[in-house]
Amino acid sequence: MAKNGRFLVSLVGVAAVVTYLIWTGVSQTMQYYMTPSELVAKTIVDPSFHRVGVKVGGRIVSGSYLKGDGFHGFTVEDPEQLNVTVPVEYRGDLPDTFNDRPEMIVDAVMEGRFRTDGVFEATTVLTKCGSRYEASPEALKAG
């Protein structure tokens, strides 16, 4: 019995180590994941948010893509609050699924920093097609 007790203690020990790893892992790598309107609201309340890295998910505004000098520029909007838009600058490779055609609904998840000039400087851009690549009936009618 004593041996089993000792064994239990070691199991608890392992569990504690794993918990510790997860705990510190989360606290040291976590990022706020916000919509464009949350991002704008948050930085108004707390300007220090311009300095921390955040993750923002928004919908690519149709026709907003432009090629800058060495960077890609586009705008994302909040699908639930269409009046809030955030311009984005990105210097990496855009994913192949990036699209700003009006009949395509493409969401972008970006990591980066919201500069004080109101431009989001992205370090990574991932795209998620709305409703998992499924076309909307309107799009099919248009095509």
Partner 1 sequence: MNVLGELALWIALPVALLGTVLGFVAGRHQRGDLQLGAERSVYAVFGLTILASAGIISNFLNDRFEYLYTASYSNRELDVFYKVAGLWSGQRGSLLFWLLFLMLFSSICVWTNRNKNREFMPYVVGILGAVASFFLTILLFADVNPYEKLGFTPANGQGLNPQLQSYWMTIHPPMLYMGFTSFTVPFAFAIAALVSGRLDSRWIEVTRRWILLSWFFLAIGIVLGMRWAYEELGWGGYWFWDPVENASLLPWLSATAFLHSIQIQESRGMLRVWNMFLVILTFTLTIFATFLTRSGLIESVHSFAQELKIAYIFLSFLFVIVASGAVLILWRLPELKSDNQIESFLSREAAFLFNNLMLLGVLFAVLWGTLFPLISEGLTGEKISVGPPFFNRVNIPIGLILLALTGVGPVIAWRRASKQNIKKSFTVPVGVGLAVAGGLFAIGVRHGYALATFGISSFVMAVIVIEFFKGTRARARIENENWAIAFAHLIARNRRRWGGYVVHAGVVVMFSGIAGSSFNVNIRQTLEPGESAVIPSPLGHEYKLTYEGMSTTSATASNSNNNFAFQLVALLRVENDGKQLPTLTTEKRGYIAQDQPTTEVGIRSSFLEDLYVILSDVADLRSAIMNEPDAQTATFTFMVNPLVGWIWYGGMTVALGGLIGLWPSVSGAPVRAPVLSSARTREPVPVGAAGD
Q: Which residues bind partner 1 (CB under 8 A)?
A: 3-4, 7, 10-11, 14-15, 18, 21-22, 24-26, 28-35, 55, 57-59, 79-80, 93, 95-99, 101, 107, 109, 111, 128-135, 137, 139-141, 143
Q: At its nearest, how many Å lie between partner 1 and the CB of residue 47?
A: 18
Residues facing residue 107 across a β-bridge: 59, 128
* CB of 7 or CB of 118, closer to partner 1: 7
> Is residue 142 packed enough to be buried (19+ CB in 10 Å), middle (13-18) or exposed (0-12)?
exposed
Residue (44 or 117) nearer to partner 1, CB: 44
- Minimum separation from the CB atom of position 116 to partner 1 (A): 22
Rounded to a whole number of angstroms, the minimum distance from the CB of residue 125 to partner 1 is: 11
Tokens of 33: 């994941």
